[in-house]
């Protein structure tokens, strides 16, 4: 069965510092990988996705992620964090079913930004 592990429950970074959120997945086939962000009391917003091709993917809000098959990882990065980036971040693996699709999410990482 598919699974996603986000090892860090909380991360605190200073504004302007770089950020890396870790994500490891378990999936037998080629995964479809996603990063979503959720602000308190809100739904999920897609930051970026990987389906195939270039293993370094660019997303919205200056985020990027790198797919490393050998490490089963899909870490999210941002070179300079802004206070508005404080939120909860979810990594997910998509399973492509015959008639649909579902996402398996990690437990999430809460990002705090200190000024």
Q: Which residues of the shown chain bind other proteins in the complex (CB under 8 A)?
A: 32, 36, 41-46, 49, 51, 90, 92, 96-97, 99-108
Question: Does residue 105 contact residue 91 with C-beta atoms inside 8 Å?
Answer: yes
Q: Report, in Å, the least distance between residue 95 CB and other proteins.
A: 9
Nearer to other proteins, 31 or 81 (CB): 31
Q: Report, in Å, the least distance between residue 23 CB and other proteins.
A: 14
Nearer to other proteins, 87 or 92 (CB): 92
Q: Using CA atoms, how far apart are residues 111 and 19, in angstroms rounded to an integer?
A: 9
User: Checking DSSP bridges between strand 10-14 and strand 109-114, what pairing results, if any?
Assistant: parallel
Q: Using CA atoms, how far apart are residues 60 and 96, in angstroms rounded to an integer?
A: 24
Nearer to other proteins, 102 or 114 (CB): 102
Partner residues linked to 68 by β-bridges: 73
Q: Using CA atoms, how far apart are residues 27 and 45, in angstroms rounded to an integer?
A: 23
Nearer to other proteins, 81 or 89 (CB): 89
Q: Report, in Å, the least distance between residue 59 CB and other proteins.
A: 12
């Amino acid at each position: 069965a598919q699974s996603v592990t986000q090892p860090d429950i909380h991360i605190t970074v200073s504004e302007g510092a770089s950020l890396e959120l870790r994500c490891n997945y378990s999936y037998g086939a080629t995964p479809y990988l996603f990063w979503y962000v959720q602000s308190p009391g809100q739904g999920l917003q897609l930051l970026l996705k990987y389906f195939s091709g270039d293993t370094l993917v660019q997303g919205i809000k200056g985020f990027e992620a790198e797919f490393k098959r050998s490490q089963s990882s899909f870490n999210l990065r941002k070179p300079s964090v802004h206070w508005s980036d404080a939120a909860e971040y979810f990594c997910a693996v998509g399973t492509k079913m015959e008639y649909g699709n579902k996402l398996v999410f990690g437990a999430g990482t809460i990002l705090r930004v200190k000024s």
